[in-house]
Chain A
Amino acid sequence: MAKPVLLSMKDIHIDGRSGDDWLPIIKGVDLTLHKGEVLGLIGESGAGKSTLGLAAMGFVRDGCRISGGSINFDGIDLMAAPESDRRALRGKRIAYVAQSAAASFNPAHRLIDQYAETPVVHDVMSRDKAEADAVELYRRMQLPHPEEIGFRYPHQVSGGQLQRAMTAMAMACRPDLIIFDEPTTALDVTTQIEVLAAIRDIVAQFDTAAIYITHDLAVVAQMADRIKVLLRGDEVEEADTRTMLSAPQHDYTKTLWAVRELARPAQPPAAGTPVVSVKDITAGYGSTMVLHGVSFEVHKRRTVAVVGESGSGKSTVARVITGLLPPVSGEILFEGKALPPDYRRRTRDQLRQAQMIYQMADTALNPKLRLRELIGRPAQMYLGLRGKALTERIRDLLRLIELEPDAFIDRLPSELSGGQKQRIGIARALAAEPRFIICDEVTSALDQIVAEGILRLLEKVQDEFDLAYMFITHDLATVKAIADEVVVMQNGRVVEQGPKDEMFQPPHDPYTELLLSSVPEMDPDWLTRLLKERAAGRAGLNA
């Protein structure tokens, strides 16, 4: 690469305070970035990507410190420079785009005021000029009504638009470097596309260098020239994007790549009485209806994936089935017999038959109870197990979810990793010996490798105990991995349903089409191609 070096970080060590001790977060990472280059920084949670990205600005969060190494930005030693010099760089020459734009815009000021603040404080341009410039950048970021949108307050603008407005704000002083910290993670897939395209264009137009932080390989493949992989504060490997995608060197990177290949083979069509039938359910809160005539069936040893974006009503379906939200009309049949709509009216046995596993294992397990009681309580309540028999049952369940009974039985949830907590959630559901389990986004809070382990475990116990699953998710890779049948939901209605293989083959309902095509693929040319196709589609429509 012929371009001059912009940022050079050498042997960076960063510690975080934990009580009285300092624990390492970054353990000696080097990072070099050339002018106009985009570096993708990927890794799972706890890898230290955000910490490293912020350190590029000479910034650490409260409770952290840089304990070693050097940071050189365009000839300036950021570690040696006084805080006032670093402050003069921030916003002006190095800008930052945060994960949640909704939380990172100040709710008390209009967008334009927050935009103009940086150029005016750094004496780059006058307030009037900054406002005119903002309109230009808003237009380039393809925001609707660029002349007016700046005069709105953050809460008056949608999430995807806010994220673009924040990128425009970062561009205000035409910085040499922008740090993008998971800018699209909080967005739905269909919104993500627009933001990714806008970010990529504007960075190319101004020849700005960027560090793009994400946990999503397919996203980084679209955005970065080079990719660096981090694992627990250490660098695993770094290479040119195409090389990295086609020929990863390190074992860890190979596993990361392989996770995306998991796919459940097609099963023969199910017959007989379905375990659960959802019949023409209409439900809502107060007078606003969230579900409109939703119907589907779940059979023994089969998994139905309910797919949709936020607000599609997919979680409300679970609340109706469990009886937390009695429907306005329609009914839920369990093995052909109608269930009482309110869970308080259901018998203990009816409650036992349908169990639930939650998205956030942190809030789904009582933090003050030990695993013995967490898993043991359903077995004690429903099956009447006591004393030795109960302990034996708990130990069996722990073995089933691949946790060593002696080491785990008396632990608290806080003494477990995220994946282990989710396994306890599964054990608690299995302890009731149910026929049907609702899995509500059970892997979306987990890292890919851990998530894969959970999915494999769910498949194993499904075969072992003849379980029927309803799997709520927004992630189509997860659908591929576990589903037999798919139900696509939008705005409280089922737009398409059928066996998985049919769903991934055209022809589609237009929404399913949009949803499927919006899922980023590992191919670095995917975004370019997709945008071209969509533009062509629009042109075709207009002609």
Chain B
Amino acid sequence: MQATSILLGIVIAVTAALVSGWLFRALLVAVTSGELRRSFRGAPVTASFGMLVILLYFVVAVLAPILAPFPERQVVGAQYLPWEAPYYLGTDNLGRDMLTRLIYGARNTVGIAFATTGLAFVVGSVLGLWAATVGGWIDQVLSRLVDALMAIPALIFSLLLLTIFGTSITTLILVIATIDATRVFRLARSVAQGIVVMDFIEAAKLRGEGVWRLISREILPNALAPLVAEFGLRFCFVFLAISALSFLGLGIQPPTADWGSMVRENATLINFGDVTPLLPAGAIALLTVAVNFVVDWQLHRASGLKE
């Protein structure tokens, strides 16, 4: 009986997602025009559902103090209260309102993941494009360094670094960004290497253009599409990595509301058949699914245009 109700729930959720994606696409097509409108019209339902979810998360993150019924860190009642008003999703292990913490989690968890990805991206892609453009010993040194760093599994390396530097939000961002920048570096470098061998780069070099002009005007515009898609993928990896660390108790530290640590703090409820800890975990999963759907669409579009 439980299996059938779960299956029914999955079917309803998938249908609701597809319908909302379809409606959102209709809305996007209606309010845009030109090139943008044409690309929205060609978007699969999964991708438009993804865009809708990303938009919702963004709104919740920005408006968190307005939307949340209680302050982020306030103890409002007893521990582990059930799902009843005014605590619509119950309370956590310290008696804080679950819904409030979930809403603030959108701001903290997503915000930190976004900042980390952005930092990793700027550092990684600037160095990667530079290495591919100038080549020679600079490229060799940077590439071998990145090879060595990438030979250590990411999670293991971040655990090692966090042991040494301690677990504050700043060190977390710096550690994860450093590790992730190596991955971005490798991608940016290989994309740029594909462009650097083109005749128009040779023409620009023979014209006497400088390195920064080469990177910014000749290479970057052509590398942008794969880099943007990679940004989405990297965000998913960073987001999952930070959540995993927080879940292990080594990432974002209490009392900051964060989805990964919320799962950890309330995990005992699972053993009593209470699904509350699945809510923050589900919130992480939903956003990652959404971003992946959009990235998949973009990658598909990019590969389709090439043929």
Contacts and interface: CB of A to CB of B under 8 A. Distances in A.
Interface in B14-59: 42
Contact of A324 (B42, B206, B209, B217): B206
B222 A358 contact: no
Interface string A361-399: 001111111000000011001000000000000000000
A464 interface: no
B206 A351 contact: yes
A356 interface: yes
Contacts of B199: 358, 360, 363-364
B221 interface: yes
A343 B205 contact: yes
A20 interface: yes
B57 to A, nearest CB: 31
Interface in A302-344: 322-324, 343
Nearest to B38: A19
A322 B208 contact: no
A358 B199 CA distance: 7
Contact of A351 (B198, B207, B218): B207
B227 to A, nearest CB: 13
Contacts, number: 46
State the main secondary structure of chain A at its contact with B.
Answer: loop
Contacts of B203: 356, 358, 364, 428
A109 interface: no
A348 interface: yes
A76 B270 CA distance: 68
B88 interface: no
Interface string B202-228: 111111110000000110011000000
Given A324-B206, A343-B205, A351-B207, 20 more contacts: A323-B206, A324-B202, A348-B208, A351-B208, A356-B203, A358-B199, A358-B203, A363-B198, A363-B200, A364-B199, A364-B203, A366-B200, A366-B217, A366-B218, A368-B221, A368-B222, A377-B207, A381-B207, A428-B203, A432-B207
18 contacts: A63-B307, A323-B206, A324-B205, A324-B206, A351-B206, A351-B207, A351-B208, A358-B199, A358-B203, A360-B199, A363-B199, A364-B198, A366-B200, A366-B221, A369-B217, A369-B221, A381-B209, A432-B207
Interface of A: 19-20, 63, 322-324, 343, 346, 348, 351, 356, 358, 360, 363-369, 377-378, 381, 428, 432
Closest 9 CB pairs of A and B: A368-B221, A364-B199, A366-B200, A358-B199, A363-B198, A363-B199, A351-B208, A348-B208, A364-B200
Interface of B: 42, 198-200, 202-209, 217-218, 221-222, 307
